Homo-oligomer: A and B are copies of this chain.
Amino acid sequence: MPRPDHAAAIVAIGSEMLSPLRSDTNSLWITERLEAVGIRVVRKSIVGDDVGAIGAELDAAAASAPLLFTTGGLGPTADDVTVAAVSRWLGVELRRDAAFVAKIRARFEARGVRMPAVNEKQADFIVGARVLENPRGTAPGFWAAGRGVEIVVLPGVPSEMKEIMTDSVLPELAARAKGESIARRVLRIGGTGESAVEELVEPIYRKWAGHPVTILAAPGEVQLHLAVRAAPERAGEILAAMESDFREALGPRVFGRDSEDLATSVGNLLRRERKSLAVAESCTGGMISSLLTDVPGSSEYFLGGVVSYANSAKEQFLGVSPATLAAHGAVSSETALEMARGARERFGADLAAAVTGIAGPDGGSEAKPVGTVFLALADGGGAIWRKRFFGGDRTVVRRAASLAALELIRRRVAGTLAHE
């Protein structure tokens, strides 16, 4: 495999990150900062504190990128072997730096503590490497070169790693970059499947073939991730032109970009149109309200909601008629419509949405299997309903139904959903 320029690989070192309980988050921060100086991360890996395993990992990393980063394993204890592993991999020696031992000792003494003997190890320097000062901790980092790559060795403690990167590593990488950067944009698409999105954007893909576009399915949405590498101003221009082409192909299916989620997009539309909203939820059990109110400032347009889990609550709080419930059941278009109309009237809202369905695992029947959901929407123009079916477990059905309700609200407020 040819090794790309301006590419980096990150190796996170620490046996604890191979347990089910912890994950490596340092690499996300490093990736973001590297992209800003035009370097793309092409590979990330996690290995335990083992000299052999670290060496094997450096082999693999060096085959994929000319710039390697390691995080973790710089502590004083017996498990911390990163410095030994890197120096062995490079084929250079370690040398204990007497002045640095004295510095560590002074650091401990300043806190009235005698330096434990094990800490001397943190003064073992990789011969030929640049030592990266660590103002927040005892273990320094290193910037070494050899075997056709550069290796930046960083501590695993996030605050220490970030300070060393910011002070000693990123400025130099920025100086070398001479103007290249990566600009990114995420376009978020609602109410459309992954393959349908692909068909719509296929010609645009081809037009911008030089710039990578990734299509991703996420709960309730499909995302297009665009990335442009160029000089900073130029990257922004290309990205804007790409975004414009994709938006033209996708039309009102695009509900937001980057961190703008469906609830934020609905909120922005309601604020712009000066409309208020209420919701009535059965199977989603408060999730729609919770998504809406997670947005700062939502009290401007969101009046509230009723979680009418029991049938008695549907009657008491929303005025659903017992006859409707008896004739059609709680999970029906008729009940959904009465819930929406009742919520609109009682909250005094411009618009109200309602959801009733069967989230499972129990409660399904042949006519209405688990995953059957009725959505309704009432506003000044009347009321509509939709029947949907969502595959998956209880959590998946509830989430999908909540997001479908938000998408229905969005299209109605945006004026792209007619009443029929």
Q: In the complex, what residue of chain B is closest to A289 when comparing beta carbons?
A: B286
Binding-face segment, A46-54, A235-243, A266-274, A378-386: A46-54
Q: Is the CB of A309 within 8 A of B313?
A: no
In which size bucket is the chain A interface? 35 or more
**With known contacts A216-B16, A286-B286, A312–B306 Cβ distance under 8 A:** no
Our pick among B41, B113, B195, B303 for the contact of A119 (Cβ within 8 Å) is: B195
A199 to B361, CA, bound (A): 41
A267 to B241, CA, bound (A): 53
**With known contacts A41-B18, A285-B293, A317-B317, A306–B306 Cβ distance under 8 A:** yes
Q: Is the CB of B20 within 8 A of A159?
A: no
Contacts of A227 in B (CB 8 A): 19
A283 to B347, CA, bound (A): 17
Chain A 173-209, CB-CB to B under 8 Å as 1, else 0, gives: 0000000000010100000011110110000010000
Q: Which residues of A366-405 have CB atoms within 8 Å of chain B's CB atoms?
A: 389, 391-396, 398
Q: In the complex, what residue of chain B is closest to A310 when comparing beta carbons?
A: B303
Q: Is the CB of B18 within 8 A of A31?
A: yes
A324 within 8 A of B: no
Our pick among B297, B347, B396 for the contact of A362 (Cβ within 8 Å) is: B297
Q: Is the CB of B1 within 8 A of A159?
A: no
Q: Which residues of A50-95 have CB atoms within 8 Å of chain B's CB atoms?
A: 52-53, 55-57, 59-60, 63-64, 75-79
Contacts of A195 in B (CB 8 A): 76-77, 116, 118-119
Q: Is the CB of A309 within 8 A of B303?
A: yes
Q: Is the CB of B313 within 8 A of A77?
A: no
A225 to B42, CA, bound (A): 31
Q: Is the CB of B77 within 8 A of A215?
A: yes
A147 to chain B, nearest CB (A): 16
Q: Which residues of A320-372 have CB atoms within 8 Å of chain B's CB atoms?
A: 346-348, 360-362
Q: Is the CB of A310 within 8 A of B299?
A: yes
Contacts of A216 in B (CB 8 A): 16, 21
Q: Which residues of A104-138 have CB atoms within 8 Å of chain B's CB atoms?
A: 111, 113, 116, 118-119, 136
Q: Is the CB of A186 within 8 A of B56?
A: no
Contacts of A41 in B (CB 8 A): 18
A291 to B264, CA, bound (A): 21
A106 to chain B, nearest CB (A): 15
Contacts of A392 in B (CB 8 A): 136, 159
A136 to B391, CA, bound (A): 7
A15 to B216, CA, bound (A): 10
Chain A 216-259, CB-CB to B under 8 Å as 1, else 0, gives: 11000000010100000000000000000000000000000000
**With known contacts A76-B194, A286-B286, A391-B136, A302–B309 Cβ distance under 8 A:** yes
A406 to B61, CA, bound (A): 43
Q: Is the CB of B53 within 8 A of A64?
A: yes
Q: Is the CB of B31 within 8 A of A19?
A: yes
Q: In the complex, what residue of chain B is closest to A313 when comparing beta carbons?
A: B304
A40 to B25, CA, bound (A): 21
A184 to chain B, nearest CB (A): 7
Q: Is the CB of A308 within 8 A of B313?
A: no
Contacts of A40 in B (CB 8 A): 18
Contacts of A57 in B (CB 8 A): 43, 60
Contacts of A28 in B (CB 8 A): 20-21, 23
A212 within 8 A of B: yes
A199 to B113, CA, bound (A): 14
A416 within 8 A of B: no
A292 within 8 A of B: yes
A119 to B23, CA, bound (A): 33
Q: Is the CB of A317 within 8 A of B309?
A: no
Q: What are 18 A-to-B residue pairs whose CB atoms are below 8 Å?
A: A19-B227, A23-B24, A23-B25, A42-B53, A56-B64, A57-B60, A119-B195, A286-B305, A287-B290, A289-B289, A296-B360, A296-B362, A296-B394, A303-B310, A305-B307, A307-B307, A312-B347, A317-B346
